A and B are shown apart, each in its own frame.
Chain A
Amino acid sequence: MEEKYLQYTPQDFKSDQEVRWCPGCGDHAILSAVQKGLPEVSKALKYNLERYVFVSGIGCSSRFPYYVDTYGFHGIHGRASAIATGVKVANPTLSVWQITGDGDALAIGGNHFIHAVRRNIDTNILLFNNQIYGLTKGQYSPTSPLGKITKTSPFGTVEHPFRPGELVIGAQGKFFARSLDIDVKLTSELMVEAAKHDGTSVVEILQNCVIFNDGAYDYITDREHREDRVIVLRHGEKMVFGKNRDKGLVLSGLSLKVVTIGQGGFTMDDILVHDAYNSNPGVHMMLANMEFPDYPVALGVIRNVKDSTYDDNVRDQVLEVMKDAKIKSVDDLLNSGETWEV
């Protein structure tokens, strides 16, 4: 009999709950990418459905767990990283997915987020970045660009935004990838990569909030310009982009530089090859921080580095200590150390 994990279809991951996001919200596309991605993950890693746990905080995006027919935990604002950490440590065989918004992960939950990344606990974090607070109806978030006019910044924000990739790599993150809500195929593909990676995998998904921040990513999503303004990175491949595949990235001094192949003396040989596995975060940081119009926005797996994980270390340490432990039960414990008879 064929194992069940080989047979899943997206339908298996659809719950009976009515999806309540606004029509046109980018979250719909991400949901369908996840429902398409899960059968792929199952196939790649031999996971049965009951192994998945989706954990979220609070926000529009955090409603997500209700819509996938797996185990799910809809937590409190900002705490998804901590809850997910507990789930994973309690049962390391589970495949734990954290769904979080830019406010949830980077404002109220910033502390938990960076510590989850630092610990390298084996969870997969899908960070829906719409650069706004959706659920509370349109206040600026830690990723809103400087000067952004919102309900709580009627004259424009006066604070510098986080760049999630920079934050992840700064917190010693080992896996960072980026996708667009509308690119369902890429998002599914990145889910498989994230799942395969042992340790905290952060996938930032640039998401459109049609109601409160519509068009925030039009500059890279509209068909006309998309290919000239984004670069999809793949490990081992040249960093080439553009409609005509004639643009590429080279290293100039200590910075990246966009060049046109065949112009200014640059040939294909000069173009950098993407090495996601390099433990040195230097180039990864530069790639993660590329912003339009000076650079194309990097999509795909930017960083994917092996290291020991928190959950493995916990398990190994317990096994190691248990191996030649003298205390094997509570009775042993109670009778250990200094005791006397009366």
Chain B
Amino acid sequence: MDKQKSVQELDEVVVRFSGDSGDGMQLTGTLFADASALFGNGVNTFPDYPSEIRAPQGTVGGVSGFQVHLGNQKVNTPGDFCDVLVAMNPAALKANAKWVKKGGMIIADADQFNEKGFQRAGYKTLDAVTELNLQDFKLIYAPITTLTKESLKDSGLDNKSIVRSKNMFALGMVYYIFDRPLNFTEKYYEVKFKKKPEIIEANKKVLRDGHIYAGNIHAIPNTYVIKPSTTRTKGKYRSINGNTATAWGLIAAAEKANLPLFCGSYPITPATDVLIELAKRKDLGVKTLQAEDEIAGICTAIGAAYAGNFAVTSTSGPGLSLKSEALGLAVMTELPLVVVNVQRGGPSTGLPTKTEQSDLMQALYGRNGEAPMVVIAASTPSNCFDYAFWAGKIAMEHMTPVLLLTDGFIANGSEPWRIPSMKDYPAINPPIVPEGTENFMPYARDEKRLARGWAFPGKKGIAHRVGGLEKDFIKGSVSHDSMNHQRMVDIREAKVQRVKEFIPEQEVLGDKEGDLLVVGWGGTHGHLLTAVQEMRAAGKRVSLCHFNYIYPLPKNTREIFSRYKKIVVCELNLGQFANYLRMNLQEFNYLQFNKVQGLPFTVVELVDRFNQILEGK
């Protein structure tokens, strides 16, 4: 290796891997992120993939990307723009060039930049630099395919397997640039391909050759180090994405309630992985039922809740639409149920693989009748665990359906997570009705929570009937009495509002008063936080109020809002939360910043907008 090259220290860096859907970019990015996390960096990732499983090879529609943001501190977003772009073909370069910082480095597989490649990607010329205006970037054309073939010519592998390893060559190059050790990734091969030693060896060789190649070419003048974070709390860490965290949080709630977990679901992007993660957990007694549709998913869950399991169903936008009627049934029967909705771009099938926050109104009100239920939103990949846990706790202790909102961005994004211990989580004590309770009244309530009792079939002496028809206030038998209906509508609302007394007060990041309060909810947390931190570092009187508990709103919300000159509500929709706040806290003036492009905010656009607001524009 060329020791002459200088080593520069950086605080943070963003790397984006991009290639054809079949090029293995998601894995490459994940390996880079995991190696960096192990090294001790702050890490945040964002996969960006097309909804077609295999769009025509080499086309822009088929480009799959994975962005990794590393820092010597905790990083809260995957980064707006990248410092290094790996582009495995002309289509990847075309699709991603706009995401590279001015002067950034682009590593491209020269072998793919031929006439055919340009043509498939829809270039007008055979000159990517001029056509895409890349004069100011550091473009490294490396013959990655050829070098991979050369590296593995004696491996005994067939040509297809050899070519498939080229992503590891590229990864080796990136490891060189950022001075990353190879051993973590080598270990990964050993575990993953345990039964195929020849694949382990081949991958190791390609990775190392990529590393060596990058060290030998003179096109890479510097290598960079991003030091391990020193501010992180000591402890054991793992990497976690939002969907896995959600699934595990639900299992944790079942464990704390000492009840079996039942999940009835139907696959849908980007929520499927919640079902997949739960299906793996037969070892913890989890029962998953892949239903015939989303309606059956929620109805099996309601049946399971009636029969005494902690029941959940997971879905995304179109599936939530199908579940509406049954959500009303869960409200009426006052059974515990957690519905996870991983939001994606809508309406209709919309943008299945892109992120959005546009199901909020549906979550709050998308049902016939007055059908209130608790709505909670997770805001980072790892806190999906906590909010799934709390969703379960609230559902079971308050005897109500709870809708947990996440989104494609945090569901697929990952970050290092200090592994919690279950002893630090509270017990869950559902109001289970004991066998043989005398004069059992199915709709009698406890005074604190207004929750009715949960009476499991199979127990002696408490047989009862529930259903979707209006219930008598105490007996739970069918009642068409008009005053009884008013009373029941009121008490169902009051029961959900009562949850306010059991959730934490809303927190504010920054000063308790100021010129501007930035308000957000759910998966935009990392971007809003970073933007507000930047503003504050520049001396601006800006604070962040980011919501996880949406229905009901935390008790102190009004009080917080009253202490700022201006409020701006930022969300990835046309203003659903802003309008919800207008309904509930009418005395404030809400400015909005909205974006509906299937993409997260960028910190840059947030900071720009906040500055404009401060300047009165």
Binding site for B on A (CB under 8 A): 15, 17, 48-51, 53, 55, 58, 65-66, 69-76, 79, 81-91, 93-94, 111-112, 115, 314, 317-318, 320-322, 325-331, 333-335, 337-342
Contact A331/B457 with A53-B307, A89-B289 known, Cβ cut-off 8 Å = no
Chain A residues near B301 (CB, 8 Å)? Answer: 86
Would you list the 3 A-B pairs with minimal beta carbon distance, nearest first? A86-B303, A74-B467, A325-B283
B238 at the interface (CB under 8 A from A): yes
Contact A89/B255 with A65-B467, A327-B283, A342-B235 known, Cβ cut-off 8 Å = no
A334 and B420 within 8 A (CB): yes
Give Cα A111–Cα B333 distance, bound, in whole angstroms.
Answer: 24
* One of A73, A81, A89, A93 near B466 (C-beta < 8 A): A73
Chain B residues near A334 (CB, 8 Å)? Answer: 238, 248, 419-420, 422
Shortest distance from the beta carbon of A135 to any chain B beta carbon, whole Å: 12
B458 and A94 within 8 A (CB): yes
In the complex, how many residue pairs between chain A and chain B have their CB atoms under 8 Å apart? 207
Give Cα A322–Cα B284 distance, bound, in whole angstroms.
Answer: 7
* One of A327, A328, A339 near B419 (C-beta < 8 A): A339
Contact A330/B238 with A74-B466, A79-B295, A318-B287 known, Cβ cut-off 8 Å = no
| Binary CB contact string for chain B from 291 to 323 against chain A (1 if under 8 A, 0 otherwise) | 111011001111111111101000000000000
Q: List 12 A-B contacts (CB under 8 A).
A: A66-B478, A69-B463, A72-B465, A76-B325, A86-B306, A87-B303, A91-B457, A112-B299, A115-B291, A321-B283, A334-B248, A342-B236
**Told that A84-B303, A88-B307, A90-B307 touch, could you supply 12 new A-B pairs with CB distance under 8 A?**
A15-B465, A50-B457, A71-B458, A73-B333, A79-B296, A90-B303, A318-B282, A318-B287, A329-B422, A331-B421, A341-B234, A342-B235
Chain B residues near A115 (CB, 8 Å)? Answer: 291-292, 296
Give Cα A321–Cα B287 distance, bound, in whole angstroms.
Answer: 12
Chain A residues near B303 (CB, 8 Å)? Answer: 55, 73, 82-88, 90
For residue A78, which residue of chain B has the nearest CB? B295
Give Cα A225–Cα B34 distance, bound, in whole angstroms.
Answer: 79
B38 and A85 within 8 A (CB): no
Shortest distance from the beta carbon of A255 to any chain B beta carbon, whole Å: 34
Chain A residues near B116 (CB, 8 Å)? Answer: none
Give Cα A314–Cα B286 distance, bound, in whole angstroms.
Answer: 10
B232 at the interface (CB under 8 A from A): yes
Shortest distance from the beta carbon of A165 to any chain B beta carbon, whole Å: 21
B37 at the interface (CB under 8 A from A): yes
B460 at the interface (CB under 8 A from A): yes
| Binary CB contact string for chain B from 220 to 243 against chain A (1 if under 8 A, 0 otherwise) | 000000000100111111110000
Q: Which positions 57-105 of chain B face chain A at CB distance < 8 Å?
A: none
Contact A339/B329 with A329-B422, A334-B248 known, Cβ cut-off 8 Å = no
A328 and B34 within 8 A (CB): no
B555 at the interface (CB under 8 A from A): no
Give Cα A83–Cα B460 distance, bound, in whole angstroms.
Answer: 22
Shortest distance from the beta carbon of A18 to any chain B beta carbon, whole Å: 10
B459 at the interface (CB under 8 A from A): yes
Chain B residues near A335 (CB, 8 Å)? Answer: 236, 238, 419
A340 and B38 within 8 A (CB): yes
* One of A17, A50, A318, A326 near B459 (C-beta < 8 A): A50
B112 at the interface (CB under 8 A from A): no
Interface residues on B, range: 35 or more
Chain A residues near B304 (CB, 8 Å)? Answer: 86-87, 89-90
Chain A residues near B458 (CB, 8 Å)? Answer: 50-51, 71, 91, 93-94
Shortest distance from the beta carbon of A55 to any chain B beta carbon, whole Å: 7
B285 at the interface (CB under 8 A from A): yes
For residue B232, which residue of chain A has the nearest CB? A342
Shortest distance from the beta carbon of B305 to any chain A beta carbon, whole Å: 8
B326 at the interface (CB under 8 A from A): yes
* One of A73, A112, A317, A339 near B465 (C-beta < 8 A): A73
A87 and B306 within 8 A (CB): yes
B468 at the interface (CB under 8 A from A): yes
Give Cα A128–Cα B275 distance, bound, in whole angstroms.
Answer: 35
B40 at the interface (CB under 8 A from A): yes
* One of A88, A111, A317, A320 near B292 (C-beta < 8 A): A111
Shortest distance from the beta carbon of B114 to any chain A beta carbon, whole Å: 39
B465 and A342 within 8 A (CB): no
Shortest distance from the beta carbon of A51 to any chain B beta carbon, whole Å: 6
B255 and A329 within 8 A (CB): yes
Give Cα A89–Cα B229 distance, bound, in whole angstroms.
Answer: 48
Contact A74/B469 with A90-B303, A340-B37 known, Cβ cut-off 8 Å = yes
Chain A residues near B419 (CB, 8 Å)? Answer: 334-335, 339
Shortest distance from the beta carbon of A331 to any chain B beta carbon, whole Å: 5
Give Cα A321–Cα B40 distance, bound, in whole angstroms.
Answer: 35
Shortest distance from the beta carbon of A203 to any chain B beta carbon, whole Å: 20
* One of A74, A314, A333, A340 near B468 (C-beta < 8 A): A74
| Binary CB contact string for chain B from 239 to 271 against chain A (1 if under 8 A, 0 otherwise) | 100000000100110010000101010000000
Shortest distance from the beta carbon of A119 to any chain B beta carbon, whole Å: 9
* One of A70, A87, A94, A342 near B234 (C-beta < 8 A): A342
A341 and B466 within 8 A (CB): no
B282 and A48 within 8 A (CB): no
B477 at the interface (CB under 8 A from A): yes
Chain B residues near A89 (CB, 8 Å)? Answer: 262, 287, 289, 300, 304
Chain B residues near A93 (CB, 8 Å)? Answer: 458
* One of A85, A317, A326, A333 near B300 (C-beta < 8 A): A85
Instruction: Indicate the member of B37, B233, B295, B325 with the most A CB atoms within 10 Å.
Output: B295
Shortest distance from the beta carbon of B260 to any chain A beta carbon, whole Å: 7
